[in-house]
């Protein structure tokens, strides 16, 4: 990153122009031992322009470099605007840092939301697996029975077991469908539309 320096005269002029105030006026003169001193006269506010006008005049310290005296007195005027008029230059780096901070906060919130989603999915998945295992155990217990009645009661018992197995399978199908829909929503896919062909959607369990 290249640092670009901006002179105090340019910054002071920009501040006063932004406030719709007259441009600063500089007056330089020689000093002892070949040094220079520069005065700047400016109006720091609209009130200073009212009758009678009351400009502010500041002076640099004696320096051997003429341009340095102008920059020094311009910086003094900028500090005067900050300390006495509460006019502070906008810091580009500060703005960029604030933007970066806001972006990081948004990312943190998004990650926290995703974290909660993952926790919810983990809990739902655990419940789903538990329900599947329970249904499978129930189907196995229905398929394997130690004792079955004989005669006409056998057909009734078999019909009851088959009906219960069908309900268990239908419940398993609905659980699978609901889990798939949850995953679609969690990962941003459109929900699957119910076309009415699946028995799992219409069975009253």
Q: Please give the average per-residue pLDDT across 38-50, as a whole number.
A: 93
Flag whether 155 is in a domain. yes
Backbone phi, then psi, for 20, in 5-degree steps?
A: 60, 45
- The pLDDT of residue 200 is 39
Flag whether 91 is in a domain. no
Q: Are residues 65 and 112 in the same domain?
A: no
Q: Are residues 78 and 119 in the same domain?
A: no
Flag whether 97 is in a domain. no
Q: Are residues 72 and 109 in the same domain?
A: no
Q: Are residues 181 and 122 in the same domain?
A: yes
Domain harbouring 44, CATH code? 3.30.160.20
- The pLDDT of residue 2 is 63
Flag whether 49 is in a domain. yes
Look up the domain containing 57 and give its range.
Answer: 8-85
What is the total residue count of the chain?
Answer: 205
Q: Are residues 125 and 197 in the same domain?
A: yes
DSSP H stretches of helix in the chain: 8-18, 66-85, 92-143, 152-186
Q: Are residues 80 and 114 in the same domain?
A: no
Choose the final residue of a domain: 36, 56, 85: 85
Q: Are residues 129 and 192 in the same domain?
A: yes
Q: Are residues 50 and 117 in the same domain?
A: no
pLDDT of 161 above 50? yes
Q: Please give the average per-residue pLDDT across 34-50, as a whole number.
A: 93
- The pLDDT of residue 37 is 95
Q: Phi/psi class of residue 151: alpha, beta or left (left: φ > 0; alpha: ψ in -120 to 50)?
A: left
pLDDT of 193 above 60? no
Q: Residue 44: which pLDDT band, with cuts at 50, 70 and 90?
A: very high
- The pLDDT of residue 150 is 61
Flag whether 1 is in a domain. no
Choose the final residue of a domain: 17, 52, 85: 85
How many domains are there within the chain?
A: 2
Which is more confidently placed, 86 or 69?
69
For residue 123, what are its two tokens? 């809990």
Helix (H) or strand (E) holding 56: strand 56-59
> Residues with Cβ < 8 Å from 49, sequence gap 6 or more?
21, 22, 43
Flag whether 183 is in a domain. yes
For residues 41 and 64, what is the distance between their CA atoms, to the nearest angstrom?
21
- The pLDDT of residue 122 is 73
Flag whether 95 is in a domain. no
pLDDT of 163 above 80? no
């Amino acid at each position: 990153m290249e640092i670009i320096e901006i002179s105090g005269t340019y910054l002071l002029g920009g501040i006063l122009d932004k406030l719709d105030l007259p441009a600063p006026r500089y007056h330089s003169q020689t000093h002892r031992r070949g040094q220079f001193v520069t005065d700047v006269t400016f109006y720091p506010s609209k009130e200073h322009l009212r009758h009678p006008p009351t400009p502010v005049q500041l002076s640099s310290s004696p320096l051997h470099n003429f341009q340095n005296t102008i920059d020094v007195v311009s910086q003094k005027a900028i500090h005067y605007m900050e300390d006495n008029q509460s006019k502070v230059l906008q810091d580009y780096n500060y703005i960029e840092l604030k933007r970066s901070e806001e972006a990081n906060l948004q990312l943190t919130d998004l990650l926290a939301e995703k974290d909660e989603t993952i926790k919810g999915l983990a809990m739902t998945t655990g419940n789903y697996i538990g329900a599947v295992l329970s249904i499978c155990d129930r189907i196995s217990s229905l398929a394997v029975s130690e004792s079955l009645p004989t005669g006409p009661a056998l057909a009734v018992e078999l019909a009851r077991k088959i009906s219960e197995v069908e309900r268990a399978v239908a419940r398993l199908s609905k659980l699978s469908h609901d889990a798939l829909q949850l995953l679609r929503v969690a990962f941003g896919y459109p929900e699957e539309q119910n076309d009415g062909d699946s028995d799992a959607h219409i069975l009253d369990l």
